[in-house]
Amino acid sequence: MDRILFLVPVSYAGFIFGAKWGLVSLAAAAAIMLPRAVLISPSPLDALVEVGGVILIGGMVNMWFERQQREKERRQRAIVELESAQKELQSYVHTVESSEKWLAVLNAISSSVCQSLELQEVLNTAAEKVMEVMNVDVALIYLLDERSQELVLKVYLGVLEEFAIGVERVKIGEGFNGQVAESGEPLLVEDASHDPRLLREAVKQGKLQAQLIVPLKSKGKVLGTLCVATHRPRQVLTEELQLLTAIGNEVGIAIENACLCQQEKQLREDLRFYLQQVTKAQEEERKRIARELHDDTTQALTVLSRQLDNIICGGRLSKRDIANLEGLRQQANSILEGVRRFSQDLRPSILDDLGLLPALEWLISDITNHSGIAIGMAVVGSERRFSAEAELLLFRIAQEALRNVWRHSEASRAWITLEFGDGKTILTINDNGKGFELPQRVSDLASVGKLGLAGMEERVRLIGGTLLLQSKPGEGTTVTAEVPL
């Protein structure tokens, strides 16, 4: 019984301090038992057998404790890896959501540029959208008065009128906005309340901390500044700086267009040029974002999915952990598929690589799969390639028209006809949907909420083409775009 009781401290030491100290305790117990078994016990052989049994059992107990400890550590590592994978996945999801949100802002501002030449309306829209997407407290827009070489405050959101009066006019080179107008480069101020460059008392009393100012440019010329700020410390991401810079360029083009319309009422060709620049800028931004989504986000999500597969296939996790990881993997694959579809929707690479017809076939397949609408296509005449601008324009018209069919027409069928004629190309999209009442003039489309159709008409005019709309309630809709080759 004495020898058996030695298992208690040996087991306790192994359980509390680990197998190493458990074996040390076992060695000490053996050192105590062996002399007694050999020298004092009336049955030395039996005593030695009992000592050996105690040593064997104690060793097995300590090895069992060691194995349990290693298993516990392995599970903890798996949990840490799982939490890391979850955080990484959440980061990628946030990136995708941010990209979608930022693209929506760029599209909204671009639409404002194309659909309105009222300067104040454009500036108000830009300031509101910037505050919404960047989650800031203050938005200020200054325009440059070339005669006085001063910046004049045109829009202020999130500040009191007293503050606005105090910073209503700023000289070039003065303060943060004046420096940006002078240099033409963005400026980030982490804590404006204690910055020695801050001279005006009104700004100090406004207690603005983080500030980001970008120039409003058109054709490389600074027309004003856009400033966003917070009342609290905030880290500005590189993506946010790029977004605000892109918005500044869009707003700069809008300012230029509006000023031209209000001051000189120049010829239609000049207005078309600026609208074309806006369209090109928008398409280039779409192309850039699509490329970044494909090259960065898609590849990162693919790597993440493979890492989750490796963890799942390791075979050392519990069923519950495997189920959780499997759910995360499926979610990652779903997000990956969404990002790929979103990237293709922004700028299908097939349009640049293979041309208009393959791009239209891909568009028909994509919308059919998601909407269930039966869409057919016919090609009349000898197929040919023409300018990238014209192919992109026709693709965007078909894309917008089919989306309208999907979202608004309640149609079951739609048809696309592409006719290659002498000196012109005609694209026709019609459906068997519910139709609608057309306004008397095409120019009234925007005022009645038909922004997509108004955008089509403007796109066609940019390359000297025409757009014809036909629709009646209950009789479907037909969109015909005729463009010169």
Q: What is the 3-state secondary structure (H, E, C) of 261-323?
A: HHHCCCCHHHHHHHHHHHHHHHHHHHHHHHHHHHHHHHHHHHHHHHHHHHHHCCCCCCHHHHH
Q: Which residue has the higher pLDDT, 295 or 150?
A: 150
pLDDT above 90 (res 141): yes
pLDDT at 319: 75
pLDDT above 80 (res 175): yes
**343 touches 335 (CB < 8 A):** no
For 59-98, how does the pLDDT look when each residue is reduced to its tens digit (9 = 90+)?
777 777 777 777 777 888 878 877 787 777 676 566 656 6
The domain covering 349-484 belongs, at the CATH homologous superfamily level, to: Histidine kinase-like ATPase, C-terminal domain (3.30.565.10)
| DSSP 8-state class, residue 149 | T
Indicate the residue type of 393: L
Rounded Cα distance between 227 and 248, Å, is 10
22-36, 59-73, 135-149: segment of lowest average pLDDT: 22-36
CATH architecture of 137-233: 2-Layer Sandwich (3.30)
Rounded Cα distance between 373 and 84, Å, is 42
Q: Which residue has the higher pLDDT, 2 or 481?
A: 481
Rounded Cα distance between 279 and 258, Å, is 16
**426 touches 390 (CB < 8 A):** no
Rounded Cα distance between 7 and 26, Å, is 8
**241 touches 197 (CB < 8 A):** no
Indicate the residue type of 301: L
| DSSP 8-state class, residue 194 | G
CA-nearest of 56, 68, 67, 65 to 11 is 65
pLDDT at 102: 65
Ramachandran class of 250: left when φ > 0, alpha when ψ lies in -120 to 50, beta otherwise: alpha
| DSSP 8-state class, residue 238 | H
pLDDT at 428: 92
Domain ranges of the chain: 2-77, 137-233, 349-484
For 197-256, how does the pLDDT look when each residue is reduced to its tens digit (9 = 90+)?
665 565 666 677 888 899 998 888 899 999 998 888 877 777 778 878 888 888 888 778
How many CB atoms sit inside 10 A of residue 22's CB?
Answer: 25
Rounded Cα distance between 258 and 277, Å, is 14
pLDDT at 150: 92
pTM, to two decimals: 0.39
**328 touches 384 (CB < 8 A):** no
